[in-house]
Structure formats: C-alpha cells, structure tokens
Amino acid sequence: MELHEYVAILRKRWLTVTVVTALGLALAVLATVFATPMYTATTKTFVSVRSGDTVGDLVQGSTYSQSQVRSYAQLATMPAVLDPVIEDLGLTVGPGTLSKAISVTVPQNTVIISISVTDPSAERAAAIANAVASHLSQAVSDLAPTPATGSDPIRLSTVAEAGVPGTPSSPDAKVNLAIGLVLGLALGIAAAVGQELLDTRVRNEDDLRKVTDASVIGSIPLDGTAEQSPLVVQGSPQSPRAEAFRRLRTNLQFLDVGERSRAIVLVSAIPAEGKSTTAINLAITLADAGSRVALVDADLRRPSIASYLGIEGNVGLTTVLIGQATLDDVLQPWGSDRLDVLASGQIPPNPSELLGSRAMSAVLSTLTERYDVVLLDTAPLLPVTDGAVLAKLAGGALVAVGAGTVSRHQLAEALGSLESVDARVLGVVLNKLTRRQGDRYPYYDYYASEGSTRAATGATTGGTTSGGTTVADPDPVGAARHVRSGGGAKVRLWPGARVPELDES
C-alpha cells in the first residue's frame, strides 16, 4: 500500500483511531492513579586499595580496585550481605525477594558503587540502602586476603548516604501518559488498517474494479428516506437521486443489446441492495423519456413492486404463467400511458420452475414485441437461482450493488452464477453510494440548492418557456411535447441536445 492509501484509510477510519488512542490514554491514567507509589533511595560507596607510596604502587592499586569493583557490586545482592541487613532491620522478606528491590551500578572507569533501593516506604528504602552499604563493606573486609601487616588491603567508604526521598520515583504521570498516547495511537492505526484489510464490502467503484470489469453505468447516492419514498423520480424530481436515475437511463440507452431481447433483468447478490427501487425508478424515467416500458415483478419469493406502486398484486405474472389469465387481463397502467406494470401475482411453490418454463419465454416474447423496454425485477442471486434462470432468457442483466452492503466475494459469486448460465451482464448500478468530499458529483449541490431557481428561469434540462410562463420538465421529450402543443415556445436544452421526434399517437 502507498502512503496516500494509508492516509485515506486514516481519514475513513478516524473514529477507530480516536477511540483506541483514547483508550490507551485512559489506561495510562488508570495505571498512574491506582499504582502504588514507590520511593527510591541511593547510597554511594568508594572502593580504595591500600598500597605503597610510589607511583607504581598507586597505579597498581587503582587498576586492582577497578578490576574488583564489579565483583563487589554483585556481592551487594547476595545473602552474605542481605542476611545481616534483614536481621538488623527486622524485615520479613527473604534475601531473594529483597535483592529484587536493590539495584547496584558501577559507572564506567570509576571505583564507585551506587546502591539504589526501591520500596513503598521512603524511610525503609533509605534504611535498607545504608544498611546494604555498611554490610557490603564488612563482607568485603572479611573476604579480602589479609596482608602480613594485618591491615585491610581494600576499604569501602560511604561517600554519600541515602536520604529519605520526598517524592515517589514511580509512577511517573508524564511518562505513563506519553507511553499511553504513543501505544494507543499505534494500536489505533493498526486497528484501522486491519479493519480496512478485513472489510471486503464493496463501497465504491475502486472496490468494484477488484471484482469485475463490467462498466458502472449508474451511481445512485444514499438517501435515508428511500424506503419510505421509493418513487424519488416522481416525488422529488430535482433531487440528486432523481438525477442519478436519469443518468442511468441515458447510459442504458447507449448500451448495445444487439439482436437479443430488449428484456433486461435487475439482479443483485443479496437482499437489501436497492434492486427493486432501482427497477421502479428506471422504468419511470424511461417512460418519461418516451419509451414504452413494461415493468415486471418477477421476484416470486418476496415481491415488492405492487406495494411500492400501490397497485393490485394478487394477480399478475404467476396468473398468466399457469394459464388463468392473459397479459391484457393483468397488465396495469401506471402514471403515464407509456408505463405498464405486471405484478407478481400469488407466490407459487415452484418459482424457479415457472420462471424457466416455456410459458415464461412466451410471456417475454409477447412483452418485447409490444414494448420498447421490459424491466424484470427478480430475487437475489445467492439465496436462489431465479435471477440466473431469468437472465438467461432475457437480453441481459443489470447488477444492482449496494455500497457497504455486499462483500466482494458475494458479488463475485453472484456474477459467477450469471456467467455459468451464459447470461450477459450489461453493467453495474452502484446503489447507496455515500457522497464524500471530492466525489465526482458537484452538480448534485447545484440541483439541490438551485432547483427552484432553475425551474423559475427555465434553466432545467428541457425547461420550456411559453407566453411568459416557465415549465420545468426534466425530460427533453416532455419539453418537446409541450412546445409542439403550445406553439412558438422556446426550448432550452443542454448544449448539443436536440428535440426528439415524438410519436404523436
């Protein structure tokens, strides 16, 4: 991963980094508050060797003392020294436990032994340090060889007695907080990167490219009110989502279905990816653009189009497939005279068999002869095979992908099921796309904030002005129809757009 990718992860997962860092600081504070204060007292002892008065004797004595001083330092933590200390001070611990509280150091190229004792009691720490120094001197005197003169050749002299410390040596609040901050920040960054690597959900087009080479022909922004108001093209025609569906319609018109059926299946890998609302709004926009559209609810497991559109759902596709009605009996017009809806009908016990039957092929053939576009909403691909069966009969499949809902391996498995039946993937519609700063939808703000102004000035796509009255029509076909019915009006379209020919029938 490159640096900019790590920066993007930290921006995306900033909450994780913040929480983990805060936890690190909190733990450091708790450790500082509840830790037992410890006091450290230090005494220093000078090691000297009795020698002659000549320069050679002095040099020899200094060299000898430097070579022996480290051995004396180790002796300070041995039972030969600590047993008398425990007896004199009446301590209740053994030599092994006491030695852990004693730290003995020898500065380089010196003959000074520094003895430090750490204890919860400041007075006891000082007393132990001084006692160790005293009994170390006695132990060295007892262990050193005695010359013929009878005087001790080596003497340890205390040059700095241990005083009672006034402040604890630990815990150090500043050090603990610094450690907590650094460790918390490091763990937070590691957690953020780990989350990103383990999170395989599809969130944007970059994630899609890791799974498929299919073109993204539509990006529908997230809208929390989509479930309550699914017909966004009709209810909020100037909203970002409505404009996104129009862009999807435009991109779909550029797809070359060839000689294959004009029936298009809307599929998704798992439920709740926005497949049904995409099918409905796409059908409405296509009808508004002048196409004759048939919207078929082929989800025979959990149909939803009838409830979304407020039409009768007990009769429909299954009624036709079992021969109890004809298409003319169950097709229901909705909105304009260019959109007809075929509800699912009653839920059958054998949906896959019905959708793959000859009767279904006959229904598709009839619909594609009558309509310019046939959109079929189906069940998700991973739970059942209905969508794959129907996609094989149709001219192609549009795959709805819910950003942040489906994982990459789920999407790959769904696409694999389409490939296994030789179904053609026309493109991918990325739903529930979270808009962030830098996304390529700057015109959304323009539509959201300037929609009323654009309508008032006739600046919307296909806006028309006739007799001083402005009519906002987001569809060039609707604008053209208004112009030709009103006569002499002026049409304002995007640069390069043309007024399409209308079917006046």
The full DSSP string for 373-387 is EEEEE---TTT-SHH
352-370 per-position pLDDT tens digit: 899 989 999 999 999 999 9
Q: How far is CA 107 from the centre of its chain?
A: 53
pLDDT recorded at residue 196: 80
Q: Outline which parts of the chain fall under CATH 3.30.70.1130.
A: 39-160
299-309 per-position pLDDT tens digit: 999 999 999 89
Q: Which is more confident, 423 or 452? A: 423
Point out the least confidently predicted range of 12-26, 234-248, 451-465.
Answer: 451-465
pLDDT recorded at residue 305: 93
Map tokens 């942040």 to a residue. 404
CATH code 3.60.15.10 for 39-160 = no
Mean pLDDT of 139-149: 70
Whether 231 contacts 308, CB under 8 Å:
yes
Grade residue 226 by pLDDT with cuts at 50, 70 and 90. low
Q: Which is more confident, 114 or 483? A: 114
145/326 Cα distance (integer angstroms): 121
- What secondary structure, in 3-state letters, does 26-85 show? HHHHHHHHHCCCEEEEEEEEEEEECCCCCHHHHHHHHHHHHHHHHHHHHHCCCHHHHHHH
448/458 Cα distance (integer angstroms): 16
With a CB cutoff of 8 Å and minimum separation 6, the contacts of 379 are 299, 300, 301, 302, 351, 386, 387
Instruction: Specify which residues 433 forms β-bridges with.
Output: 221
How far from 234 is each of 154, 432, 464, CA to CA, in Å?
103, 19, 19
Q: Which is more confident, 447 or 103? A: 103
Hey, CA dihedral for 206, 210, 216, 218, is it positive or negative? Answer: negative
Q: Outline which parts of the chain fall under CATH 3.40.50.300.
A: 205-435
* DSSP three-state, residue 350: coil
Whether 115 contacts 102, CB under 8 Å:
yes
In total, the chain counts a number of residues equal to 505
Residue 171: which of 41, 25, 40, 26 has the closest Cα? Answer: 40
pLDDT at 400 over 60: yes
* Cis amide leading into 171 (omega within 30): yes
492-501 per-position pLDDT tens digit: 333 333 333 4
pLDDT at 228 over 60: yes
pTM of this structure = 0.61
384/379 Cα distance (integer angstroms): 7
Residue 436: which of 209, 219, 115, 193 has the closest Cα? Answer: 219
Q: Which CATH number applies to 205-435?
A: 3.40.50.300
pLDDT recorded at residue 444: 42
